[in-house]
Structure 1
Amino acid sequence: MRAFARPLFGRRARLRWVHLILGGALAMPYVFVGAVLVGPAADDTGVFTSLPLQLSSFGIGLPLAALTSLFPLTRPLESAAVRWLCGVDADRLADGPARGRVAKGRTAAWYTLHLALGGIVAGMSLAIPPFAAVLIVLPLVAGLRDSRLGLPEVLDHSWALALAPVAGVASLLALAGCAAGAGALLARWAPALLGPTPEDRLAAAEARAADLAVRNRLARELHDSVGHALSAVTLQASAARRVLDGDPEFVREALAAIEETTRRTVGELDAVLGVLRDGDAPGTAPAPTLADDLDGLLRRTRASGVTVTALVGTAPEALPPVLSREAYRIVQEGLGNALRHAGEGVAVTLRVEVRDGHLEITVTNPLAAAPGRRPGPRPGGGHGLRGIGDRARLLGGSVRAGPVRGDWRLHVRLPMRTAT
């Protein structure tokens, strides 16, 4: 019995019934407009006492509803109602306004269908329950049989009078069945009519791609700035500890480099976090450039006990700002990789020059630590080279990294023309 009653009177069926009643309520203004238009054709009985005129008013109102469905908020409101009352998953519905011809046509079809079925079910819900109640109590209340309620003459027969309660209950069940069927039909058609169109999916994909681009850029900035700073500070502190008693001047330089590195990194971290908090566009966070801080980057790296030979064959001030910024991060990551993987006391060669319309950056360091040299920390790698590759591809450049005759060499080519 419960399995039979649940599809008709369960919670989901009741909520869908409410959804249909809302559709009937929304249809009423359009029906009234239709009644005004067909009013001249009514006789003395009036529009609302003639079933053909009522149906005509309803038929005129539905096209008007389809026109008003072009209002931008129609699809978001209908999608919300379907999600909460019809039990349709949110990911199968579109939340934004209908933007294309196809989306607007589907929204108009849905709105018209909702109001049409809702108007029918709402009218049945108003008319059938009182009639069914009269039929159910008719054998028990003799006064009802004698009143002028317009009951069929067949009810004057005793056998028909005995079946009146059964007919009343059957009419209520029929109403519930119609409401459940109409609600199930709307729930089935909602994803097709209110779901995202190909244009909606494309717009959503573009929005996700833009958001992913922002996240990737922020991740690169955090990795390059914070990762390099932590590697440099670790080696600077280690080198200072080992020569604490024998070379106080080197210790002072290392501590000063640690202070400068952490101060700059905290500033860059605050800038990146500000982008996350404020939702700014990618690239709004201030970033150092070769022109601004190449000398400082080399000085802080050398304070870790690393010998860095820098061969700069072009003026950093002459580079385009975007190219100078990305090149700074590439140099920073290249030096950071040497600190992390080659160990302390290594000799690193940095070459920055312009050749054949390209800015070329080459970082070379020993492939393995020499005997007696303590290797640097080796956290899980791979992200740095991936970030360098991302930066180079965004500028139309190329990256080559790998062992070359006992050394590790990073070579990056960035086109000057594209960067401008």
Structure 2
Amino acid sequence: MRALLRPLFGRRARLRWIHLILGGALAMPYVLVGAVVVGPVAGSTEVFSSVVLQLASFAVGLPLAAVTSLFPLTRPLESAAVRWLCGVDAALLADGPARGRAAKGRTALWFTLHLGAGGIVAGMSLALPPFAAVLILLPLAAVLRDTRLGLPDVFEHTWALALAPVAGVASLLALAGCAAGAGALLARWAPALLGPAPEDRLAAAEARAADLAVRNRLARELHDSVGHALSAVTLQASAARRVLDTDPEFVREALAAIEETTRRTVGELDAVLGVLRDGDAPGTAPAPTLAADLDGLLRRTRAAGPTVAATIGAPLETLPPVLSREAYRIVQEGLTNALKHAGERVTVTVRVELRADHLEITVENPLTAPPTTRPGGGHGLTGIESRTRLLGGTARAGPADGTWRLRVRLPLTPPSAAPGPPGPRHPLEEPS
């Protein structure tokens, strides 16, 4: 019995019934406006005393509901109600306002159906339960038979009184069946009428692409900043431990470099995580640039043990801020790779030179062992390639004359045209 009654009185059926009653409540203002129009036309001041005039008012009010459904908030609110009360998957519904004539037309049709079906079911829900209760109690309560309550004369017969409770229960089941059927139909039609249009899918795809671009940007920043800091601090601590008893001055320099590296990295990490925290303001730590911190980057790298020979043939202070920031990260990643793969007792050569129309960055270190791929790694040079491509430059990395060479060329003026398909790329051989 419970399985038979669940489609009529189960939780989902009850929630859909509530959804229909809400539609009836929303329809009431439009019915009142319709009554203002129907009353004078019919020459009656008692519109709600006539079922025919009530239906006429209802019919006049529904077109008004279709017009007001064009307000932008209608579709988001209706979608939320359908999602929570009708059990429709959120992925099948549009969240934002309707765009375009077709989407607005579907929203108007849905709103009209919701209010129309809701008004009918809500009216039945108000009228039928009291009537059914009277029928069920009629054979048992003499006072109900004496007052008659406007019941048909047929209930004066004994057989009619005996069947009255059956008719009352049947009317309640009919009400539940109408509500369940109307709710199921609305739930089935909701994805077609409230679902995303092609414009909505395009807007959602653009939003996801923008979000992915931001996440990729933050991932690159974290990889370059934290990855370099951890590699440098590990080598600095290792070098300091080995000469702790023989070279106290080197140990002091290494500890100072570790302190400076971690302090700067914590500031950069806080700035990046501030963007990720929902509701938090971004961190205030400035993004490092060649002009602001190239000397410090080279000094901290030398504290890890390697000899870093730097040739700076460009006025770093005059470089565009975006170019200077991205170039800093490229040099940082090149030095990180050198620390991880060449060792701490090697000479790393860094050249930053200004050519006619581009900035050229070269990082070289001895190729002490064949390049290997670290488990879970392999993102550093991919990040360099991504940064370079966004600025319209080129990047090449790989063995060259017994050394590992990273060479990047960045145009001084980034491309101003709208982004299009990426052009030819130089493959980067990824050792890290």
Q: Distance in 1 between matches of 2:141 and 2:229?
A: 92
Mark the runs of 5 or more structure 2 residues left unpaired by the alignment.
417-432
SS in 2 for 1:365: strand
1:398 to 391, 394, 401: 394
Question: Residue by residue, what CA displacement relative to the aligned partner does 1:292-351 show, whole Å, maximum 9, x if unpaired?
Answer: 222222222122221222233322223211111100110011011000111121221222
Q: Distance in 1 between matches of 2:261 and 2:292?
A: 15
Structure 2 matches for 1:152-301, cutoff 5 A? 152-277=152-277, 286-301=286-301
Q: Deviations over 1:207-244 (max 9, x none)?
A: 22222222222222222122112211221222222233
Matches within 5 A, 1:18-57: 18-43=18-43, 46-57=46-57
TM-score (norm 2): 0.87
The question of whether the paired residues in 1 share the 8 Å contact of 2:270 and 2:283 is answered with: no
**Match in the other structure for 2:377:** 381
CA displacement, residues 166-209 of structure 1 (integer Å, 9 cap, x when unaligned)? 33322222111111100111111222222333222322222222
Distance 1:169 1:263 in 2: 77
Provide the secondary structure at the position in 2 that maps to 1:266: helix
Deviations 1:129-158 (A, max 9, x none): 233333334444566556454433444555
Question: Conserved in 2, the CA contact under 8 Å of 1:323 and 1:419?
Answer: no
> Residues 217 and 282 of structure 1 are in contact (CA less than 8 Å); yes or no, is this contact kept in structure 2?
no
Distance 1:284 1:266, change over 3 A: closer
Distance 1:129 1:324, change over 3 A: same
1:109 shift after superposition: 1.6
Distance in 1 (CA, whole Å) between partners of 2:158 and 2:251 is 114
Q: What root-mean-square deviation, in Å, do the aligned CA atoms of Structure 1 and Structure 2 show?
A: 2.9
Provide the C-alpha distance between the structure 2 equivalents of 1:330 and 1:92, rounded to a whole number of angstroms. Answer: 44
Q: Distance in 2 between matches of 1:66 and 1:288?
A: 57
Q: Given the superposition, is the C-alpha separation of residues 134 and 296 from structure 1 closer, same or farther in structure 2, using an over 3 Å criterion?
A: closer
In 2, Cα distance between equivalents of 1:151 and 1:260: 92
Q: In structure 2, do the counterparts of structure 1 residues 379 and 164 end up closer, same or farther at CA, with 3 Å as the change threshold?
A: closer
Please name the residue that 1:325 is paired with: 325
Contact 1:360 1:414 in 2 (8 A): yes
Please give the per-residue CA displacement for 1:26-69, whole angstroms capped at 9, x wherever unaligned. Answer: 11111111011011133557322323222110011111112222
Classify 1:159/1:124 alpha carbon distance in 2 versus 1 (closer, same or farther; 3 Å). Answer: same
Distance 1:284 1:97, change over 3 A: farther
Counterparts of 2:386 and 2:373, CA distance in 1: 24
Using a 3 Å threshold, how does the CA distance of structure 1 residues 377 and 88 change in structure 2: closer, same or farther? closer
Amino acid of the structure 1 residue aligned with 2:414:
T
Alignment CA distance shift 1:376-1:16 (3 Å):
closer
**Aligned-partner Cα distance in 1 for 2:400–2:56:** 86
Match of 1:16 in 2: 16
- Percent of matched pairs sharing the same residue: 83
Letter in 2 for 1:251: V
**Cα distance in 1 for residues equivalent to 2:153 and 2:326:** 92
Change (3 A) 1:88 1:113: same
SS at match of 2:53: helix
Query: Residue by residue, what CA displacement relative to the aligned partner does 1:385-418 show, whole Å, maximum 9, x if unpaired?
Result: 1211221121112222222233222121212221
State the aligned residue count.
Answer: 416
Change (3 A) 1:244 1:356: same
C-alpha separation in 1, matches of 2:109 and 2:303: 71
The question of 1:111 aligning with 2:111 is answered yes
TM-score by length of 1: 0.89
- 2: CA distance between counterparts of 1:296 and 1:172? 82
- 2 CA distance for matches of 1:250 and 1:376? 31
Matched letter for residue 225 of structure 1: S
1:313 aligns with 2:313: yes
One-letter code of the match for 2:390?
L
| TM-aligned CA distance change 1:27 to 1:20, over 3 Å | same
Q: Does residue 418 of structure 2 align to residue 418 of structure 1?
A: no
1:349-395 deviation line (CA, Å, top 9, x unaligned): 2222233522221212122259xxxx999674212112112211211
Shift in alpha-carbon separation, 1:282–1:206, aligned structure 2, 3 A: farther
The equivalent residue for 1:135 is: 135
Bigger mean CA offset, 164-173 vs 296-305: 164-173
Matched residue SS, 2:220? helix
Q: Deviations over 1:246-296 (max 9, x none)?
A: 333333332332232223222222332333347689998521111122222
- Is the CA contact (8 Å cut-off) linking 1:363 and 1:410 kept in structure 2? yes
SS of structure 2 residue aligned to 1:67: helix
- Structure 2 distance, partners of 1:32, 1:249, is 90
Match of 1:58, as an amino acid? F
